[in-house]
Amino acid sequence: MLPMVLNEAFYAGLQRNEGRSVRFAILLDNETFKSGTVREFSESKPFNAKQLQSISVAYDPSSVCLVIDKPSPDSSSIVIIGVASRPVPALRLSTQYPPAVIVEAVSPGTISIEIGELKAFYSNGEIVISNLQVVESLQIQSSLPIRAITPTRFGPHLHLGSDEVTGLDEVLWANHKNEYEQLVNNYWPRLFSGAMISIIKKTVCKAHGGGYLFLKCGFESNSLTGGSWFRAPSQQLTHWLSRTLAIEGLLSLALRGKTVTADLDARWRDNVQEWGRDLLHPTFRDSLLNLDYACDECAHLSEADGVTVLSHDFEILGFGASIAAPDQQMPDDWMEYLRTRGNRHRSMANAVASMDGSIGIVISQDGGVTIFSNHDGHDKHLIILAI
C-alpha cells in the first residue's frame, strides 16, 4: 500500500491549512512492528489528502504519527485508525524487529520516507535517497565508548550513565569482554549520529533555524562570546547516550545467550536470551525514548539567538553564544559554498576552521542543514544534508 500512501501524502503536502503548510507523520503499522499503544479513534478515518489536511494540524509530526491500517479483505480502501508515538528509527537497535515505515510531509510537495536506516524523499513520483548516513562518518572524539567498556575505579562495574553502574561477574567478563567491546564499538557511531540527526530534525521542525558547535572535550575557545553558560555542563544528553550505549551492548550479548553481569536473577540464568527480550529490551527502548526527549530539550535551546555549544561527549556547555572568529583560510569548496550564504554560515565556518576537532551545524529557517567539520586542522569537510 506504500504507493497509495505516498501519492496521497504528496497531494496533501502541497496544500496549506489556514495559511500553514500541512505537516504530518504517518506510521504504517503491521503485525511484527509495534510502535507502542495506538490511541484509536472512535471511528476510523478515510485515508486521503483532504483528511490528512484536516487533522494534521492537531498533531506534532516530530512526536506523533497517524497510524494507517491495511485494508480489510472486503475493502479496497485504507484508513487512519488512530495515533501513536513516533518510533525513533535512527536510534533503534537494528537486530530487534523489522523497522517501521514512516512517511512524513517535510515541506510543500516533498515527502520523506524512513524505513529503518534507509532515508529517502518522494517528490513528483520520484524517490531520491537521502544522505543522512554521512553523519556517521564525522570524527567525534568522545570518551563515552571507552567508559562503556572499561570497569570503573570503584571496582568491577560498568558505567550505565553519568552516575549509574552495573556489577560485573569477573569470570564472565573475562570470557566475553572482547565481544562486548566489539558490539559497543560497532554501535556507538550509529547512536551518536542518530542523536545528532534527532537534534537537527527537531530544530528544523521549529522553523526558526539555529546553530550547534561541538568542541573537542576540554577545548576552550576564544571565538565564542556572550551566551548563557552552565556552571557545570548539562549532563542529560551525556547520561542517556552512555546508558543507551552500555545497555545495547549488554542486550546484544544477551541475545547471543551470553552475559557479563553479576546480579542476574536465578530464574534467568538458564535462559539469558529471554532475560534480554523481557527485561533488557524494554529498558533499552526506554533509554532511547529518554535520549530522544533530551535531544528535544537541546533543540529548544536553539530558540535563543546564537549558537548552542556542546562537547564531543554531548555535554551542553551553553547556548545563545555569539561567534567572533576572525576570517580563516578555508578549503575551496567552503569558499564557493559561502558565496551564496549569509553571516550565520560564514561565522560558523570561520569558527570551525580555527578549532581542531570542532563540528559546526547550521540550520537555516527554510530547513537547509550545513555541517562544517575540522578533524585535525587539515581534514576539513563540508556536508549539506537533505532532511
Distance CA(370)–CA(10), nearest Å, equals 26
More confident residue, 83 or 16: 83
Per the model's pLDDT, the better-predicted residue between 118 and 24 turns out to be 24
Domain count, the chain: 2
Contacts of 67 (CB under 8 A, 6+ apart): 26, 27, 29, 35, 38, 80, 81, 82, 83, 84
Counting beta carbons within 10 angstroms of the beta carbon of residue 297, is it exposed (0 to 12), middle (13 to 18) or buried (19 or more)? middle
pLDDT value for 32: 46
Q: Are residues 265 and 142 in the same domain?
A: yes
Are the C-beta atoms of residues 179 and 258 closer than 8 Å to each other?
A: yes
The pTM of the full predicted model, rounded to 2 decimals, is 0.81
Which residues are CB-contacts of 216 (< 8 A; sequence separation ≥ 6)? Answer: 141, 311, 312, 355, 356, 357, 358
CA dist 142 to 5, 98, 159, 378, Å?
Answer: 41, 30, 15, 20
Task: Say if residue 111 is in the same domain as residue 155.
Answer: no
Whether residue 201 sits in one domain with residue 94:
no
Q: How confident is the model at residue 115 (pLDDT cuts 50, 70, 90)?
A: confident
The model's pLDDT over 164-174, given as tens digits with 9 standing for 90+, comes to: 888 999 999 99
Q: Which tops the pLDDT comparison, 229 or 76?
A: 229
Binning pLDDT at 50, 70 and 90, where does residue 293 land?
A: very high
296 and 249: one domain? yes
SS3 breakdown of the chain: % helix, strand, coil, rounded to 5?
35, 25, 35
- What torsion do the CA atoms of 246, 248, 253, 259 make, to the nearest 10 degrees? 50
312 and 163 together in one domain:
yes
Q: What is the pLDDT of residue 182?
A: 95
| Range in 55-59, 305-309, 383-387 the model is least confident about | 383-387
The one-letter amino acid code at 293 reads Y
Cβ proximity of 39 and 5 under 8 Å? no
Residue 291 has pLDDT above 70, yes or no: yes
Alpha-carbon gap, residue 295 to 195, rounded angstroms:
7
Pair (69, 155) in one structural domain? no
The residue ranking higher by pLDDT, 287 or 366, is 287
Domain boundary among 130, 164, 193: 130
**In this structure, what CATH number is given to the domain that contains residue 73?**
3.40.1700
Q: Transcribe 95-134 into DSSP letters.
A: TSSPPPEEEEEEETTEEEEEETTEEEEEETTEEEE--GGG
Full residue range of the structural domain in which residue 327 is found: 135-385
CA angle 101, 188, 168 (to 5 degrees): 115
> What is the share, in percent, of the chain residues with pLDDT greater than 90?
48
> Are 191 and 271 within one domain?
yes
Q: Do 202 and 103 belong to one domain?
A: no
In the chain, alpha helices (H): 2-13, 49-55, 144-148, 170-206, 236-255, 272-275, 281-301, 332-338, 343-354
Q: What is the pLDDT of residues 34-72, one digit of tens each?
A: 556 788 999 999 999 999 988 988 888 888 899 998 766
Give the amino acid at 236. Answer: Q
Give CA–CA dist 345/349, Å, rounded. 6
Q: In the prediction, which pLDDT does 221 show?
A: 77
What mean pLDDT value characterizes the chain? 87
Asked if 166 and 260 sit in the same domain, the reply is yes
Q: Are residues 225 and 353 in the same domain?
A: yes
Domain end call among 97, 130, 163: 130
What is the average pLDDT across 209-235? 88
The predicted model gives 217-232 an average pLDDT of 84
Res 87 pLDDT > 90: no
Tell which residue, 356, 360, 378, has the closest CA to residue 370.
Answer: 360
Query: In this structure, are 286 and 169 located in the same domain?
Result: yes
